[in-house]
Amino acid sequence: MKQSLLIIRANMLVKNKVILVTGAGSGIGKELVLSLLARGAKVVGIDLRKESLDNLETETNVGKKLLTTHHLDVTDRTAIEKLPEKIIAEHGNIDGVINNAGIIQPFVRVNDLSYEAIDKVMNVNFYGVLYMTKTFLPFLLKRPAAHIVNISSMGGFLPVPGQSVYGASKAAVKLFTEGLYAELADTKVRVSVVFPGATKTNIATNSGASITQEPASNSKDQSFPMLSAKEAAKIIIDGMESNKFQIFTGKDSNFMNILCRLNPRFATNFIAKQMKSLLPK
């Protein structure tokens, strides 16, 4: 038992490790790549948008020994299953996976949401994480130390009207990751789940769900200003290196997590009031 606990609590620093990041071309994913490179890691960037990956390579200008990129869709299981062989050929091994790729749904009620949109959100946000985890876990288990980081959302524990299916997909990521943590407790593979709060990214545009009106919580006098993607990425990598089970980025995520536990109905009504302006009348 003592030996098992020591395995779980040991930390994996990212320096000289090979870390894969999905959704690496923009937003938090891009900043994760930059932060990892700054800390001495070798990075594999995955993204659906090739142009974003090309821009990332140009901006970092570190060469393929430190950064390689792969243009693919995380919902394409066949393509994902071919990745480990390619990455091992490029870098020799794989030590960590950060499942960051994700999309939101159009800001509409479930009654008005198409099945096409539902399938897309679930496929990217949940099955993409599942495919990446299942594919790379056998390789991570062979490493002396490894880490899986899955990005859920504040919406994964807090219901947001107009994002009910998105929240369901992120809640699935939450429970999947926590179950994975328990299953891998006696191995050298660490597992963390991340709950980002409001963050300045282009996720709405990339998801095809552009927001034309700001929610009430984004007013100038809001208690919890939005984090930059750079700040969020730093918190995530810090949490990864300190082997945190749950990582909350932003004071809003921390606060709402506590409020949801203390009074879930009040928390639900509170966020519904804040987000009401985004829903069609």
| pTM check: above 0.75 | yes
Tens of pLDDT along 200-210? 876 655 555 55
Q: Which residue is listed with tokens 């938090």?
A: 28
Could you tell me the two tokens for 147?
A: 């880490």
Q: Which has the closest alpha carbon to 96: 185, 190, 178?
A: 190
Does the annotation count 115 as an active-site position? Answer: no
Is 127 a domain residue?
yes
190 SS3 class: strand
Quick one: pLDDT at residue 206? Answer: 56
Residue with tokens 């974003």: 52
The residue whose two tokens read 């991570």 is: 140
Which residues neighbour 67 within 8 Å (Cβ) at sequence distance 6 or greater?
33, 37, 42, 43, 44, 45, 56, 57, 60
Count of helices and strands (H, E) across the chain: 12, 9
- Of 136-145, 200-209, 220-229, 252-261, the poorest mean pLDDT is in 200-209
Q: Residue 4: pLDDT above 70?
A: no
In a domain, 214, yes or no: no
Position 87 in a domain: yes
C-alpha pair distances (Å), 83 with each of 78, 123, 265: 9, 19, 44
For residue 7, pLDDT over 90 is answered with no
Asked, for residue 166, whether it belongs to a domain, the answer is: yes
Residue-level length of the chain: 281
Neighbours of 144 (CB within 10 A): 8
CATH number of the CATH domain containing 124: 3.40.50.720
Confidence category of residue 280, pLDDT binned at 50, 70, 90? confident
Q: What percent of the chain has pLDDT over 90?
A: 82
Which domain does 125 fall in, by range? 2-209+223-276
Q: Provide the 8-state DSSP code for 242.
A: T
Whether 281 is covered by a domain: the verdict is no
User: Is the residue at 189 inside a domain?
Assistant: yes
- Is position 215 within any domain? no
Q: Does residue 216 lie in a domain region?
A: no
Contact 140, 95 (CB under 8 A): yes
- If one counts the domains in the chain, the total is 1
Q: Which residue out of 115, 127, 166, 181 is catalytically annotated?
A: 166
Relative to beta strand 67-71, strand 42-47 is parallel
